[in-house]
């Protein structure tokens, strides 16, 4: 395998914030970048050489993108297998259709994880309303129902048994009467993630784990390092690296994990791309997740993942721009940036919407706690 050296062109399927930040890292390294996205004014648009307009199942456009590229990667797992295969006719696609087929469908992903010995919470695949009703009863009544296909930031999910009257019948209909997984709602102590990078050469490096805090199923803040015990860190690293090796995936693979109140370490889900919980790697680590993505897909030596200083991020959702009366307001970034150690990242999304990730703040600190405190204080000042 020969390295794809700076000066070459990288194609990214998807031009959202993850594609944008990967493109910025690629440019720093001297690569040219092209993206494909359904939205011609997607966040990556402003930092790339070309943007091809195409939906996640538009194989013709994926082929057009790949024709001018030396390697193709992705920033969203919803890209169809047909797109990956069409692109692969012209350039190596990393990760390729093999692992993507498993990862992009929740039932297949969970089945694969179970068969490969990864610890999971109780769950069932459900393909009909009756199967879902049975599963909800069998799993104890408090359940997360998640569509097998699509979904992010808690979308395409319905919770049952959380105080409202949502039933299995409601959930089945709300999710479009399509296959889904039913998961027992777990009592979580913490959520962590481990980002693994794997190059075609087989070289693998995993970042120290991140600690993640979600509100309403959307990541609110995240910090590196996670400060979990050395034993837990070792187990989380082993688990993530075994999964990446088992899948044989190239590029990045984020493994989201649950730590339950009873002390179990369980796999939640996989993401074959840069991950929101590693945005802090830009300040915390020698190599950011975005630079590592570029190195991995170009088969360059992987970068040092050591933590230089603790760093945290807080997401900025559309709500920050939306006033009480529904009018948009300009957040007070000047106030947030006055806090020592705080930096701002905006994705150039033009329309703020509730729950839409518009940007993030990051902060360094002497300790992980201090980094979280600073970033949350900065966000309050907006």
What is the binding site for ligand ADP (CB under 6 A)? 121, 144, 146, 151-154, 183, 185-186, 188, 191, 214, 217, 256, 268-269
Instruction: For residue 8, give every residue at least 6 positions away whose Cβ sits within 8 Å of its Cβ, in sequence order, or none.
Output: 31, 32, 70, 71, 298
Nearer to ligand ADP, 187 or 334 (CB): 187
Q: Whole-number minimum distance, CB 375 to ligand ADP, in Å?
A: 19
Which of ligand ADP, Mg ion, none does residue 85 bind (CB under 5 to 8 Å by kind)?
none
Q: Whole-number minimum distance, CB 118 to Mg ion, in Å?
A: 15
Nearer to ligand ADP, 64 or 269 (CB): 269
Q: Whole-number minimum distance, CB 287 to ligand ADP, in Å?
A: 24
> How would you label 190-206 residue by residue, b for 16+ Cβ within 10 Å and e otherwise?
bbbbbbbbbbbeeebbb
Q: Whole-number minimum distance, CB 133 to ligand ADP, in Å?
A: 18
- Using CB atoms within 10 Å of the CB of residue 370, give its burial: 0 to 12 exposed, 13 to 18 middle, 19+ buried: middle
Torsion over CA: 115, 236, 79, 151 (sign): positive
Residues in the chain: 382
* Whole-angstrom distance, CA of residue 24 vs CA of residue 162: 42
Which of ligand ADP, Mg ion, none does residue 185 bind (CB under 5 to 8 Å by kind)?
ligand ADP
Nearer to ligand ADP, 14 or 121 (CB): 121
Which of Mg ion, ligand ADP, none does residue 299 bind (CB under 5 to 8 Å by kind)?
none
146 within 8 A of 183, measured Cβ to Cβ: yes
- List strand residue ranges (DSSP E) for the chain, in order: 9-13, 32-37, 50-53, 71-74, 123-126, 143-147, 157-160, 180-184, 188-198, 204-206, 210-215, 218-224, 251-260, 265-271, 311-317, 342-346, 357-364
Site string for Mg ion, 239-268 (x = CB under 5 A): -----------------x------------
**CA-derived radius of gyration, the chain:** 20
Q: Whole-number minimum distance, CB 150 to ligand ADP, in Å?
A: 9
Nearer to ligand ADP, 99 or 121 (CB): 121
Which of ligand ADP, Mg ion, none does residue 153 bind (CB under 5 to 8 Å by kind)?
ligand ADP
Which contiguous run of DSSP H or E holds residue 294? Answer: helix 289-297
Nearer to ligand ADP, 187 or 324 (CB): 187
Q: Whole-number minimum distance, CB 189 to ligand ADP, in Å?
A: 11
What is the DSSP code string of 102-122?
HHTBHHHHHHHHHHTT----S
Q: Whole-number minimum distance, CB 321 to ligand ADP, in Å?
A: 22
Q: What are phi and psi of 97, to 5 degrees?
A: -60, -30
Q: Whole-number minimum distance, CB 11 to ligand ADP, in Å?
A: 25
Could you tell me the two tokens for 266? 């369980």
Per DSSP, 300 falls in state P
Which of ligand ADP, Mg ion, none does residue 343 bind (CB under 5 to 8 Å by kind)?
none
- Which residues, in sequence order, are bridge partners of residue 213? 221
Nearer to ligand ADP, 142 or 235 (CB): 142
244 within 8 A of 204, measured Cβ to Cβ: yes
Nearer to ligand ADP, 114 or 337 (CB): 114
Question: Contacts with Mg ion: how many residues (CB under 5 A)?
Answer: 1
Which of Mg ion, ligand ADP, none does residue 237 bind (CB under 5 to 8 Å by kind)?
none
Q: Whole-number minimum distance, CB 134 to ligand ADP, in Å?
A: 18
Which of ligand ADP, Mg ion, none does residue 191 bind (CB under 5 to 8 Å by kind)?
ligand ADP
Nearer to ligand ADP, 153 or 370 (CB): 153
* Residue numbers at the binding site for Mg ion (CB under 5 A): 256
């Amino acid at each position: 395998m020969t390295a794809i050296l700076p000066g070459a062109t990288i194609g990214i399927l998807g031009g959202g914030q993850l594609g944008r930040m990967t493109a910025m890292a690629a440019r720093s390294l001297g690569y040219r970048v092209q993206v494909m996205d359904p939205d011609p004014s997607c966040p990556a648009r402003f930092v790339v050489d070309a943007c091809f307009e195409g939906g996640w199942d538009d194989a013709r456009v994926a082929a057009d993108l790949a024709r001018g590229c030396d390697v193709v990667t992705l920033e969203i797992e919803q890209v169809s297998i047909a797109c990956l295969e069409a692109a692969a006719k012209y350039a190596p696609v990393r990760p390729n259709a093999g692992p993507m087929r498993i990862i992009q469908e929740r039932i297949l992903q969970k089945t694969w994880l179970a068969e490969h010995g990864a610890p999971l919470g109780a769950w069932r695949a459900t393909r009909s309303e009756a199967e879902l009703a049975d599963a909800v009863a069998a799993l104890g009544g408090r359940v997360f129902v998640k569509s097998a296909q699509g979904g992010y930031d808690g979308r395409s999910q319905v919770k049952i048994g959380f105080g409202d009257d949502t039933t299995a019948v409601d959930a089945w209909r709300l999710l479009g009467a399509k296959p889904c997984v039913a998961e027992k709602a777990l009592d979580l102590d913490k959520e962590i993630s481990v980002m693994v990078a794997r190059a075609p050469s087989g070289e693998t490096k995993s970042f120290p784990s991140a600690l993640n805090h979600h509100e309403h199923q959307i990541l609110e803040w995240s910090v590196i390092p996670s400060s979990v015990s050395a034993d837990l860190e070792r187990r989380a690293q082993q688990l993530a690296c075994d999964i990446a090796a088992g899948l044989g995936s190239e590029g990045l693979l984020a493994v989201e994990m649950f730590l339950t109140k009873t002390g179990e370490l369980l796999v939640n889900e996989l993401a074959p791309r840069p991950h929101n919980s590693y945005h802090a790697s830009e300040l915390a680590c020698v190599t950011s997740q975005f630079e590592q993505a570029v190195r991995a897909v170009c088969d360059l030596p992987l970068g040092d993942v050591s933590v230089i200083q603790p760093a945290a991020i807080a997401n900025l959702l559309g709500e920050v721009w939306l006033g009480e009366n529904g009018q948009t307001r300009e957040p007070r970034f000047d106030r947030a940036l006055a806090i020592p150690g705080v930096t701002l990242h905006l994705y150039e999304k033009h329309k703020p919407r509730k729950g839409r990730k518009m940007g993030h703040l990051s902060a360094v600190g002497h300790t992980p706690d201090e980094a979280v405190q600073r970033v949350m204080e900065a966000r309050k000042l907006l």
